[in-house]
A and B are shown apart, each in its own frame.
Chain A
């Protein structure tokens, strides 16, 4: 990407961020309620949280849960989605996808806690189950919709099935896979809040519930901001990977 374009993007991020803060400030002033502190009050709570290290430790635990969840989901969803290119595999996979994808998987929480306990594992698994389907559906669609002509082109070069996956099916699906992962980061942070709101004393979700119960609104908002920054950060990281790995899409 040309340097000018990047600069332009950062500038528009900055302007938008400023705009959001301005609206926030105005609302806080108009409502004049302890439930909506001003950005400045939240900012000082945020700095205080950073300074005593508590915010960082909760943030890093949350980030790890999201990371493991998305990694676990992708490591299963991507291969299954790719091999769904084969008619025989898809016949088996498609009914599962159609029946299980539209269900709100978050209701599986009691079952997962029964099976995996109340520790980190069950939190990661719930995140993984939910984003698994998002990534699987996207990957499967991408590998199914690949033009047969690309495969013919490979076959004319006497390619083996492995070659076809390596040179055609996988690279052709990578952009869609990364987009799915980018979207799934947003979802997994929403799930994160849910799974961290009970039976744990660590993570941003816990911190939100805790400061809420203490009616410490600046702390509450500072944690919300951290959660938002976590999502934004992961989103940007995946986008950067996408730009680097899928250079051919952005030309």
Chain B
């Protein structure tokens, strides 16, 4: 479904963000990517979305080489995803508007999605008038409104407080189980990577390259966080990050 093939990215100023990144994510799989700050995770997502072009190698999504953004893929950003000059409703419906859906069709999809995400009554607020957690849910609403097959997320929860964060992690897990979307989550948090990733890809520091892919078949349960095997998995991930960094 998502295939990274020998992806290398060098920026014009000479920094090498990624080197020979390879992985393959199956349809309906949920995968976490974790690595130290500045390991090129955001660059990798921008390449997978077709926004940036890799210097070498290629990204293949649903069997097609990525050269421009695909309709199958939605991307959720940590910051800057929402436009402060648009209301919650306008932000959430923007993707549909760009796809040429008319007012009525947009309203139908967005209204039900916003109430599903607990944003009912906040439609006319601006992003700065609602909490961080709500802002992030608006960002999810905008991505989900497009009904994508693949959901890519760039540290979507990292600016949230612990409780809100856990809530949204549960939301993402339920979403994955219900819709069987292919999900790729880039995160800084080991616990989040283990809770949400059926597979956990560990990247090295810059230039980012895949150190290990850890299988995490036990995930998928809301109680997973309290189980012994969860802690074992976190330890395993932590150790592979450490060896990579040194």
Contact = CB atoms under 8 A, between A and B. Distances in A.
Interface of A: 147, 149-150, 152-153, 155-159, 163, 167-168, 171-172, 174, 246-248, 251
Interface in B66-119: 68-71, 73-75, 77, 79-86, 94-95, 98-99
Interface of B: 46, 49, 51, 68-71, 73-75, 77, 79-86, 94-95, 98-99, 126, 128-129, 142, 146
20 contacts: A149-B79, A150-B80, A153-B75, A153-B81, A155-B69, A156-B51, A156-B74, A157-B146, A158-B71, A159-B98, A163-B98, A167-B83, A167-B94, A171-B85, A171-B86, A174-B85, A247-B126, A248-B126, A248-B128, A251-B129
Contact of A168 (B46, B79, B83, B99): B83
A147 B77 CA distance: 13
Residue with the highest number of chain B CB atoms closer than 10 Å, among A153, A168, A251: A153
B74 A251 contact: no
Contacts, number: 60
Contacts of B84: 248
A135 B157 CA distance: 39
A171 B75 CA distance: 22
A92 to B, nearest CB: 20
A152 B77 contact: yes
A153 B77 CA distance: 7
Contacts of A149: 77, 79-80
Contacts of B46: 152
B49 A157 contact: no
B184 to A, nearest CB: 13
A156 B126 contact: no
B95 A157 contact: yes
Nearest to A171: B85
A158 B128 contact: no
Nearest to B68: A158
Contacts of B73: 156
Contacts of B83: 150, 153, 167-168, 171-172
B13 to A, nearest CB: 14
B99 to A, nearest CB: 8
Contacts of B146: 157
A251 B127 CA distance: 10
A244 to B, nearest CB: 13
Contact of B69 (A158, A171, A251): A158
A172 B126 contact: no
B149 to A, nearest CB: 14
A158 B86 CA distance: 18
Contact of A147 (B70, B74, B80, B86): B80
The 4 closest A-B pairs by CB, nearest first: A149-B80, A156-B75, A171-B85, A158-B69
A150 B80 CA distance: 6
B69 A157 contact: yes
A157 B76 CA distance: 10
Contacts of A159: 98
Contacts of B49: 155-156
Given A149-B77, A251-B128, A155 B51 contact: yes
A157 B94 contact: yes
